[in-house]
Amino acid sequence: MNNIAESTKPLSIEAIMEASRTTGRWHLPVTQRAFEWKREQVASLADSVLLGFPIGSLLIANHDSDYYVFDPSEKVRKRVEGGGAYQELVLDGQQRCTALLIAFDGEPYPDAGDREGRHLWINVLEHDADFTEFHEKMARKYIYFWHKMPGDDDDPGLNNLSSGERKLVGLKRNKPNLGWIPLSTLYAHDPGNGDKNELAEMAGLKADDSHNVLEEVLQRIKRAKTRRNIPVLHLEPEHHEDALAHLHQVFIRLNTSGTVLTPLDVFFAGVKKFWPDAEEHVATVIDMSHGLLSRKNAITLIARCAAKTLDEGRNPTRLDAKLLSAFTQRGGTNKLVNRMREITPEDGSSLFERSVDQVCGLLQTKLHAGAHHLYTEAIAAAVGWTMSHAEKTQKLKISTHSRKAIIGFAFWTSFYSVRKGRDRFGRRTFRIAWDAGKSGEPFPNFNSEDMWEVCFAHQMVLVHLPQKLPRLICLGEGKRHEDSWIIEDGLRSARALSLGVFQKLKHSPIDWDHILADNFGRKKWRDRHGLHKAVYLLGSTANFAGIDASANRVLQDRSPTSKLRSGDKSYCNRNFIKTEPNLLEEEEKLLFAVERTLNKGKMDSAHRKMRRFVEARSQRIWDYLIHVTGEPPLRRD
């Protein structure tokens, strides 16, 4: 390749955004990952640009290979064929280029579960009070917030909001009431012809408010637009046939800081060297997983199953460059990648894809929202068994016995275990399940010796139930039972998984909220010595419900009466709460009784009633989990 220094050209952020837009001249090589920066990183980059701080150099390479276009909204990108024409491909700088489009050009940040996305707003009335020069951990100079664009009748923006509306959008008390304006609106402002008073009015500034911050931000934007201080390095391949072999390696070498490449990222970058349209195939698997597999989970599972069908001696779980190299053949082909392509046609017709659909569909049907909190290694083992069993028996249908075993295995291994120190879990459970399927045997229940040893016979298991499951959960004073506390602690640690089994309705992002608000209870009980156990009960699984995230911001600190009997905005309104609180009438009465006795100052009586509520609902949750998932694994001597 040509000398890099001779191909360096400084550009302004305006020129970079012009080149990065969907219709611009810069594109992304298929080696690149999706956009992965968090909102905090985007805001920090915007602040650095305004302050004139360096944001690093970009690396561009000319090549005629296939490519992606810049589009933050695409979770899985669509490949565009190169067609023999040379394109400018961004090897290093994708995250920064995309972040600039989001911050200054009005592209929405691609929030999961949010179709509209969020935009970056800046406050032009106040500076960030935490900003300190020459400090190791200084904050940003300006105050930022993420919100949708103004203009809708039901969304006036961020200025002049009531306290309830501020809670609803997530604005904290220390955030200013006025002065908010989208940063992209300021960037689009023409300093020569625009009216600053119009901008001040949009930001909600009053006549006597200072315009110093607004003036300052506009001047900084003007300088950022024109200042050419971002080095862009161009790689010009001397020979067409040399370039592709180097591009993947350059990408891997450069990404050793910032958003660091994991071994899986390096592995998949190498996969796309042999298989340019791999992302589209992965997207099909993600769609067929009913939302239970992330992109990285899907890649891992595809590679595992492909490797097992090729060579039983290979370790299919540790996906890194060594595994990829082991399958690379002379002539530039790769057995593993070819097999990954074969088992994932885009029409979803392969045995592997149908196995993913069968297993993930079964788990979501039975465990509902709880399926999204399962240990992904357990899902992988079930898919591996389904695929190998179907190849052996020529029947994809999962028997009733194996269906129950898969549900119980996925739930209880997720309920019992913690991820720390469980490195061997995925490797060994996948092998045991695959071997059972290949032999035509049912899915191995966790009570089998091999599976039990892998899943539960070590210190990293979170809870161990007794040899005999207790019938009742007795948390009352004077009748405490050790085994009952073990169950209660297990429910507490696996709260989202346990309560998710109740959540049958489709929902936007869920929050887990106290039904008897934690802050409400703490304030009432704080002056009485010896009632810390009552406050501890507020953290119990039994005192939680799955609530739509936006609704939770309105109701989270209120009393049970407000939460359950406040008309249109209550936990009992299905139009406001997207998931059900799952309270029986008797349980509601107990909650109201706790509230009444607390308001009367009868703390001990409130404590006893709260304990009865926790006992009754914990027992009901536990009984329902066993009904859905089968008996849990019990301790062995």
386-441 tens-digit pLDDT: 999 999 999 888 999 999 999 999 999 998 875 445 567 888 899 999 999 999 99
Q: What is the mean pLDDT of residues 573-583?
A: 75
CA dihedral 155, 156, 162, 163 (to 10 degrees): 50
User: Per-residue pLDDT for 84 more than 90?
Assistant: no
In this prediction, residue 105 carries a pLDDT of 92
Say if residue 109 is in the same domain as residue 253.
Answer: yes
Confidence label for 115 from pLDDT (cuts 50, 70 and 90) = low
Cα dihedral across residues 129, 132, 135, 138: positive or negative: positive
Q: Is residue 228 included in any domain, yes or no?
A: yes
The per-residue pLDDT for 420 is 47
Rounded Cα distance between 17 and 264, Å, is: 30
Q: Strand runs (DSSP E) across 360-477, as ranges?
A: none
pLDDT at site 248: 62
Position 636 in a domain = no
Q: In this model, does residue 195 exceed pLDDT 80?
A: no
Which of the residue ranges 64-68, 81-85, 202-206, 348-352 would you say has the lowest mean pLDDT?
Answer: 81-85
User: Token digits for 539?
Assistant: 């953290």
The predicted pLDDT at position 297 comes to: 92
Measured between alpha carbons, how far is residue 19 from residues 12, 24, 98 in Å?
A: 11, 4, 11
Is residue 382 predicted with pLDDT exceeding 50? Answer: yes
User: In the prediction, which pLDDT does 244 show?
Assistant: 45
Kindly state whether residues 615 and 526 are assigned to the same domain. yes
Q: Whose CA is closest to 355, among 288, 430, 282?
A: 288
Under a CB-based contact definition with an 8 Å cutoff, are residues 109 and 120 in contact?
A: yes
Q: Quick: pLDDT tens for 469-483.
A: 666 565 555 445 566
277 domain-assigned: yes
> For residue 470, is it within any domain?
no
Average pLDDT, the chain: 83
pLDDT band at 69 (very low <50, low <70, confident <90, very high): confident
pLDDT at 502: 86
User: 607-628, pLDDT tens digit by residue?
Assistant: 889 988 988 888 889 989 999 9
**Computed from CA positions of residues 535, 536, 541, 547, in that sequence, does the dihedral angle turn out positive or negative?**
positive
Backbone φ, ψ for residue 92 (5° rounding): -135, 120
Q: What is the pLDDT of residue 233?
A: 86
Between residues 493 and 238, the one the model is more confident about: 493
- Looking at residue 476, what DSSP letter applies? S
The amino acid sitting at 22 is T
For the stretch 153-193, pLDDT in tens is: 456 689 988 887 888 788 888 899 999 999 999 999 876 55
- DSSP three-state, residue 68: strand
Contact indicator for 44, 140 with CB cutoff of 8 Å: yes
pLDDT class of 83 with cuts at 50, 70, 90? confident
Regarding whether 384 and 249 lie in a shared domain, the answer is no
C-beta separation of 543 from 613 below 8 A = yes
Quick one: tokens of 203? Answer: 């930001």
Q: Are 367 and 407 in contact (CB under 8 A)?
A: yes
What is the span of the domain harbouring residue 249? 1-147+180-258
43, part of any domain? yes
Q: Which of 216, 239, 258 is the last residue of a domain?
A: 258
For the segment 519-534, the average pLDDT, to the nearest whole number, is 77
Q: At a CB cut-off of 8 Å and minimum separation 6, what does 23 contact?
A: none
* pLDDT for 619: 86
In a shared domain, residues 432 and 516 = no
Question: What pLDDT is recorded for position 16?
Answer: 94
Beta bridge partners of 87: 63
Ramachandran class of 9: left when φ > 0, alpha when ψ lies in -120 to 50, beta otherwise:
beta
| Cβ-count burial 480-510 (b if 16+ within 10 Å, e if not) | eeebbebbbebbbebbbbbbbbbbeeebeeb
pLDDT band at 369 (very low <50, low <70, confident <90, very high): confident
Query: Is the domain of 279 the same as that of 139?
Result: no
With H, G, I as helix, E, B as strand and everything else as coil, classify residue 8.
strand
Tell me, yes or no, whether 167 lies in a domain.
no
Q: Is the pLDDT of residue 282 over 50?
A: yes
The per-residue pLDDT for 34 is 81
| Residues 6+ positions from 601 with CB-CB distance below 8 Å | none
Q: Are 221 and 291 in the same domain? A: no
Q: How confident is the model at residue 240 (pLDDT cuts 50, 70, 90)?
A: very low
Give the pLDDT confidence score for residue 50 in this predicted structure: 94
Q: Based on the domain organization, do 404 and 512 belong to the same domain?
A: no
User: Environment class of residue 569 by beta-carbon count within 10 Å: exposed (0-12), middle (13-18) or buried (19+)?
Assistant: middle
pLDDT at 459: 65
Are both 352 and 209 inside the same structural domain?
no
Domain boundary among 258, 275, 308: 258
In angstroms and rounded to an integer, the radius of gyration of the C-alpha atoms of the chain is 28
Check whether 568 has a pLDDT greater than 80: no
- Helix, strand, coil share of the chain (percent; to 5): 50, 10, 40
Q: Are both 443 and 525 inside the same structural domain?
A: no
Count of Cβ atoms closer than 10 Å to residue 428 Cβ: 18
Assess whether pLDDT exceeds 90 at residue 349: yes
More confident residue, 280 or 506: 280
Residue for token pair 């905090």: 40
What is the reported pLDDT for 507?
60
What pLDDT is recorded for position 255? 58
Per-residue pLDDT reduced to its tens digit, 30-59: 888 788 889 999 999 999 999 988 888 898
Q: Where residue 267 falls among pLDDT bands split at 50, 70, 90?
A: confident
Work out whether strand 544-548 and strand 230-235 pair parallel, antiparallel, or are unpaired: unpaired
Residues 6 or more apart in contact with residue 333 via CB below 8 angstroms: 274
Q: How confident is the model at residue 5 (pLDDT cuts 50, 70, 90)?
A: very low
Round to whole Å and give the CA distance between 181 and 412: 49
Decide which of 3 and 513 is more confident. 513
Find residue 180's DSSP bridge partners.
123
- What is the spatial distance between Cα 269 and Cα 254, in angstroms, rounded to a whole number? 13
Residue 508 lies in a domain: yes
Of 258, 279, 302, the position where a domain reaches its end is 258
Query: In sequence order, which residues have a C-beta less than 8 Å from that of residue 99 and are 6 or more positions away?
Result: 37, 41, 42, 45, 46
Which band of pLDDT confidence, cut at 50, 70 and 90, is reported for residue 504? confident
Same domain, 198 and 322: no
Average pLDDT over residues 575-594: 84
Q: How many domains in the chain? A: 3
**pLDDT of amino acid 3:** 46
The 58-63 sheet, strands edge to edge: 8-11, 230-235, 58-63, 87-92, 26-29, 67-68
pLDDT over threshold 50, residue 581: yes
In this structure, the strands spanning 230-235 and 180-182 are: unpaired
Residues ≥6 apart with Cβ < 8 Å to 461: 416, 417, 418, 455
Residues 325, 317 contacting (CB under 8 angstroms): no
- 8 A C-beta contact, residue 545 and residue 584: no
Q: Which amino acid is at 178?
A: L
Which residue carries 């299905």 as its tokens? 574
Q: Are 591 and 516 in contact (CB under 8 A)?
A: yes
pLDDT at position 471: 60
- Are residues 299 and 212 both part of a single domain? no
Q: Is residue 324 part of a domain?
A: yes
**pLDDT, position 110:** 82
> What is the average per-residue pLDDT within 440-450?
88
Q: Do 524 and 442 belong to one domain?
A: no
332, pLDDT greater than 70: yes
The answer to whether 404 and 366 are in contact (CB under 8 A) is no
Among 67-71, 524-528, 552-556, which range has the highest average pLDDT? 67-71
Q: What is the pLDDT of residue 237?
A: 62
581 CA to centre of own chain:
24
